[in-house]
Amino acid sequence: MSLAFLDGQPATADDLRALALANYGHFSSMQVRGRAVRGFDLHLQRLKAATRELFDQTLDEARIRSGIISALDAAGMDDAGVRVTVFSRAFDSLRPDRSVPVDVLASLSPAREAATTPAWVKTFAFQRPLPHVKHVGTFPLFQWRRQALRDGFDDALFVDARGRISEGSVWNIGFWDGEQVVWPQAEALRGTQEKLLQAGLAEVGVAQRHMPVEARALGGLKAAFAANATGVWPLSGIDDLALRPDPVLMERLRAALQAAPLRSL
């Protein structure tokens, strides 16, 4: 099931066609529980900043909230996966420099939690263009995930031209060296869940460090995990390196997320 609403009204085929054909815009995905979102302020910041960068427009927070609430009302849902996409039906690919009004599309899907099954991932040399923006150019993300699955892995993990680990297909990655959480330092989309984890771990006194992590030099790292809006899950291996999921670490990570309050829409 997937439902789409444009500024609170059911999206038409023409609305969706404009987005699909131009394929220019950005989005943020979140999990809504009881009409509240953990880290909602981070999603608002992301959507507003990307709208300024891609469209030179100001996006009002009230419009984002209203679009989500209207969509939930129309669908009769309190719990859902929500993707807010900002694009413009007036966008002209021949003159992308022109100032155009933006549209806010709220898409609803069933609520989802991260799987607890450990994932074994395969690395690919790839750098997302404009990595700090969660833009709609997702083709390579799913193509590399598809290739990973065809090769017998569970997902794709990206490394940059220098061999440094950056991010997963639609998730961020962190490591545990036995004493601290290590966040790989490279150009990547810094996810809302990653930021919540970092804040939560700091509150409970878990040491953290940001540093370059090379995919070919993981010997000193004892465990790894992935995180996105659905939650956190352990990694059981990267390429030919087996990793042992750490139950204690996973409990700490989940507790760190739970420490972040749910914010009403």
Identify the pLDDT of residue 73.
96
* Tens-digit pLDDT profile for residues 155-192: 999 999 999 999 999 999 999 999 999 999 999 999 99
| Helix intervals (H) in 8-91 | 13-22, 40-55, 61-75
Residue type, 121: V
Please, which residues have CB within 8 angstroms of residue 171's CB and are 6 or more apart in sequence?
A: 155, 191, 226, 227, 228
* Tens-digit pLDDT profile for residues 14-30: 999 999 999 999 999 99
Confidence band, pLDDT 50/70/90 cuts, at residue 1: low
Task: Calculate mean pLDDT across residues 229-234.
Answer: 97
Give SS3 for 154. coil
| Residue 219 clears pLDDT 80, i.e. is over it | yes
| Residue 231 clears pLDDT 90, i.e. is over it | yes
* Tens-digit pLDDT profile for residues 28-62: 999 999 999 999 999 999 999 999 999 999 999 99
The CA distances from residue 18 to 28, 88, 105, 147, in Å, are 19, 8, 12, 29
User: When comparing pLDDT for 194 and 8, which is higher?
Assistant: 194
* Domains of the chain by start residue, with CATH: 3-109 (3.30.470.10), 119-260 (3.20.10.10)
| Residue 7 clears pLDDT 60, i.e. is over it | yes
Residue type, 198: Q
**Averaged confidence pLDDT in the chain:** 96
Identify the pLDDT of residue 8.
87
With residue 196 as reference, give the H or E element that holds it: helix 192-203
Question: Any idea of the CA torsion for 16, 22, 24, 28, to the nearest 10 degrees?
Answer: 20
* Tens-digit pLDDT profile for residues 81-132: 999 999 999 999 999 999 999 999 999 999 999 998 999 999 999 999 999 9
Task: Calculate mean pLDDT across residues 134-162.
Answer: 98
